[in-house]
Chain A
Amino acid sequence: MQQHRELSEKQINTQLLNGALATPGWWKFAVIGLALIVLAGFATFGFMVNSGIGLTGKSRPVFWGALITTFVFWVGISHAGIMISAILRLTQAEWRRPVTRAAELLTVFSLITALTFPIIHAGRPWRIIYWIIPYDFSRGIWPNVRSPLVWDPAAIGTYLTGSILFLYVALLPDLGNLRDRTIGWRNTLYSVLSLGWRGNSRQWRLQTTAGILLSALMLPIFVSVHSIVSWDFAVTSGVEGWHSTIFAPYFVIGAVHSGVAAVVTMMALMRWLWKWDNFIRPEHFDALARLLIVVGTTWFAFTMIEILYSLYSLEAQELAFRDMQIFQWPWALLFVIFLITGFFIPVPAWFFKRVRNSIPLMFWTSISVNIGMWLERFLIIVPSLARKQPFVYTWGSYHPSLVEIMMILWSLAFVAMNMLLFARFFPLVPLFEQKESQVFSSKIKIGRASVPAVLREREQE
């Protein structure tokens, strides 16, 4: 399964630094194109601040819509980094190595993007800082810590800080590498950033210890972030469709589903754009697809249990909400698309080795997962609000406005642009992980066969 390709350290350096040290021709055009969308997004936001939330499609009782959906979506994507880097590191899965950096990066940028959405969506964004940072002591009013909306920035802020640290610690050896290969201002930049990295054994030990400690510490945060986001909804007893105990693990497993799928999308793009065929190989897609089968199936089981238990109560408003979500036009269509794209196309497809090893197919199935996951959140948030409680007189509906769609596009472009900018200055595939994996990969002779093997250090008791 593991097709080992022995590369010299020099080859690894030149090939993996081709993004940071030599700019590919398409890079400039891609960044400019994305920057235009990002600017248009900022302009739209300015327009909305100037005119009011009336520009969105929201109403009463659907006070939350596509913007909060997108917030949840990006928080979900951010679960890629720690899933790949921390969990797979602690479980010593070798195939994680080439994708760790990209996954962590995705975490950082998607979290930053996610954090902007509650601000964009608020009625008075210019005052939102009031509830993120304890403010204005003279009035004696602190943020209300009972509110899940205060837990959110706390959890996401911790996760973001931790992810940036995690990314930085893993970047140190490569920064030292870059410092030795650059001149001028970039050399100064890398010198400062690399914190005097020389690669001696003490530094390596510290770097490894820091990585493992951060992995272990980040795990609870990783779980808590999307749990807390889910509690924004689940603790609201007034909204029948939200008040479900399964939400925390359901959201977390869904987040892992969409996050890992997003990493697959990125890996395919990286392989195509920077021609890293030697590093991002079909075997990595294969391993991720196997992981996704497990995650996706668990997520689907949770979806079904959630629906089963909400119908179980046979309460009128619960039935009305499910009726709207599953059977009423156009929500029925969205529900079908959600099921097909989130589960029924990708997961069965991954059972075939041909699909798992085909990069274009993995690319498209992973995109399909994220379409489904966005719709999942949308179908939880909106119909639940539209069918809130038995006052049929005020039941409502919702459709996103152009402004909201523009902000969704903005978020996609913003993340992509940031990734490309990062890739211009830092390697997207960690060089040292690549080299380490070559040291740790080994072979065992069994009879006449030579079987690929890995080396594991162990303490002797």
Chain B
Amino acid sequence: MASNITAAPDHRPTFREAAAHLVAQGRTAASGARLWILLLLAVTVVGVIGVVGRIAGGFEDRTAWGYYAAVVSFLLSTAAAAPMVSIAPTLARASWVRPVTRVSQLFASVGVVTALLYIPLMFALPPLVEDGVRRRSIWFGSPPLTPHVWGSVAILGLVFIGLALLWASSIPDLRTVAETATGMRRRIARRLAMGFIGTDTQWKALRMRIGVLGAFYFVFLVFTHLVFSADFAVALVAGWKDAIFPMFHAMTSLQSGLASTIIAAFFIRKFGRLERYLELDQFWAMSKLMFATSLLWFYFFFSAFIVFWYGRTASDQAIIDTMVGGPYRWAFIATFMMSFVIPLFTLMWNPVRHSIKGPTIIASIILAGMFLDRIRIYAAAWSARGINDKFIREVPATHWPDIFDVLVIVGAVGAAALAFLLATRLVPAVSLWEIQYMRLLTRPVRFGKGHAVIIAKPD
């Protein structure tokens, strides 16, 4: 160690402080959580009315289901992608991610909402073989219900792995909750902690489980986006041959997953008074990644756009008209501004990135942009006609949402927030053991006259 490095005082909370603070947070009575839960429950009920109304309208008219599909896709692209924020940096052994791993993994609970919303959508999807004619799909000659089956496998698998990941990485904290909380939370936590007492073997198994589940989650996320985008968007538009689209879908979901995590972290930090746990460093690092993914948004979009635009074959032109320059131009321009232009010209400045409000505001804008993006894709794709044609000969007109669509949109967001909030009642919103690890493996020091931190890189 170089001689000009000296020890610096460590102001970070100790494990005992953290445990007391965070477990107390989880009480339902705390921080007005009960009120919020009731409110979100009401919103969810509104959403259920919307879903029922949509189903009552029947499955024959595909156009009517466009916004519904966009909502499912929106949840898949935000909540389902959020756990990646913890997975990728953990696999790359980044140290900053530890305090936000839990926030991002709590989004796995929203998977339940996504899966429930997905069920009616399956019935709206046309079968592979209709009137003896087989439509084009990535499943080629498979049985008629193949897309439905694989779509369900993908989404259920994603929900299952996500919850398993959340559970696996919460086990040490559940143990702490079991020791310090009271009443029902204590009983549930003890049951879920599975007899964890922190032996070497248990820790090793825990880390391995997190690694394996994380890798699986990533693979399943990509698979889900591939299957969902292919069956619920691409295959419905004749002549839409766009190999980058599943990757665009998955990549933009990472951007929105980051945005979701930042927003969740902001509220948890604010309402849970967790300023000492979720620090500026976390927001800074996440906003850097959000900046990078915003650039990638443009890159993946443009890769497809230039090929269509320059190629100008009949199907190329039809696709651009359907989703970019045609009836949904308003949605596209708004998306382009909110998912790329605004993040680019704000996040490129370090003062914006290096703050807490800055990334949060940009993250909200990105989420709104993502929502419009999914609308321009799914509402357009579901109203396209002539599924067996060579390409769409008639660009579908703009389809505006009806009252049920609005109810579904509001209800889905409410239900997602409710699921997230309920999950934070059980496990602490900041991972106690990760905080403890961080305290152990990093040391603030003075380096010459400046500040520095020493980060241990164990195997």
Contact = CB atoms under 8 A, between A and B. Distances in A.
Direct contact of A and B (CB under 8 A): yes
Interface of A: 1-2, 220, 223, 227, 231, 234-237, 243-250, 301-302, 305-306, 308-314, 439, 442-444, 446, 451-461
A248 B244 CA distance: 9
Nearest to B222: A301
Q: Interface residues of B: mostly helix, strand, loop or mixed?
A: mixed
A1 B457 contact: yes
B306 interface: yes
B458 A305 contact: no
Nearest to B391: A313
Given A235-B311, A245-B308, A309-B241, A455 B441 contact: no
A442 B241 contact: no
B313 A247 contact: no
Contacts of B241: 244-245, 309-310, 312-313
Interface string B279-297: 0100000000000000100
B456 A245 contact: no
B299 interface: yes
A68 to B, nearest CB: 19
Interface of B: 1-2, 5, 136-138, 140, 222, 226, 239, 241-247, 280, 295, 299-300, 302-304, 306-308, 310-313, 316, 354, 440-441, 443, 445, 447, 450-459
B458 A455 contact: no
A248 B304 CA distance: 9
Given A452-B456, A457-B452, A312 B307 contact: no
18 contacts: A1-B457, A1-B459, A235-B311, A237-B310, A237-B312, A245-B242, A245-B303, A248-B244, A248-B299, A249-B299, A305-B243, A309-B242, A312-B138, A446-B441, A452-B456, A453-B455, A454-B457, A455-B447
B451 A457 contact: yes
Contacts of A223: 299
Contact of A459 (B222, B316, B451): B451
Nearest to A148: B310
Given A236-B311, A312-B241, A457-B452, 17 more contacts: A235-B310, A237-B312, A246-B244, A248-B302, A248-B303, A249-B244, A249-B300, A249-B303, A306-B243, A442-B2, A442-B5, A444-B441, A453-B455, A453-B456, A454-B454, A455-B445, A461-B354
A245 B311 CA distance: 10
Contacts of A439: 2
B14 to A, nearest CB: 16
Contacts of A309: 138, 241-243
A444 B451 contact: no
Contact of B456 (A244, A247, A444): A444
A312 B229 CA distance: 14
Contacts of A2: 457
A26 B77 CA distance: 58
B457 A227 contact: no
Nearest to A224: B299
A443 B451 CA distance: 17
Contacts of B308: 245
A245 B307 contact: yes
Nearest to A235: B310
Given A249-B300, A455-B5, A231 B306 contact: yes
B140 to A, nearest CB: 8
A243 B307 contact: yes
Contact of B306 (A1, A235, A459, A460): A235
A249 B250 CA distance: 14
Contact of A244 (B300, B307, B453): B307
A197 to B, nearest CB: 22
A247 B307 contact: yes
A456 B303 contact: no
B300 A458 contact: no
Given A313-B136, A446-B441, A451-B457, A456 B452 contact: yes
A145 to B, nearest CB: 13
A225 to B, nearest CB: 13
A451 B458 contact: yes
Contact of B136 (A306, A312, A453): A312
Contacts of B441: 444, 446, 451, 453
Contacts of A460: 450-451
Contact of A451 (B246, B313, B456): B456
B357 to A, nearest CB: 14
A430 B243 CA distance: 41
Nearest to A450: B456
B243 A458 contact: no
B243 A457 contact: no
Nearest to B95: A456
B307 A456 contact: no
B1 A246 contact: no
Residue of A235, A302, A446, A455 with most partner-chain B CB within 10 A: A455
Contacts of A247: 303, 307
Nearest to B308: A245
B457 A305 contact: no
Contacts of B310: 231, 235, 237
A248 B301 CA distance: 11
Contact of B245 (A245, A311, A454): A245
Given A245-B303, A246-B303, A454 B455 contact: yes
A439 B307 CA distance: 49
Nearest to B91: A294
Given A235-B306, A305-B226, A458-B452, A452 B247 contact: no
Nearest to B305: A245
B54 to A, nearest CB: 29
Nearest to A91: B92
Contacts of A312: 136-138, 241
Given A246-B303, A305-B247, A455-B454, A444 B136 contact: no
Residue of B246, B303, B312, B447 with most partner-chain A CB within 10 A: B303
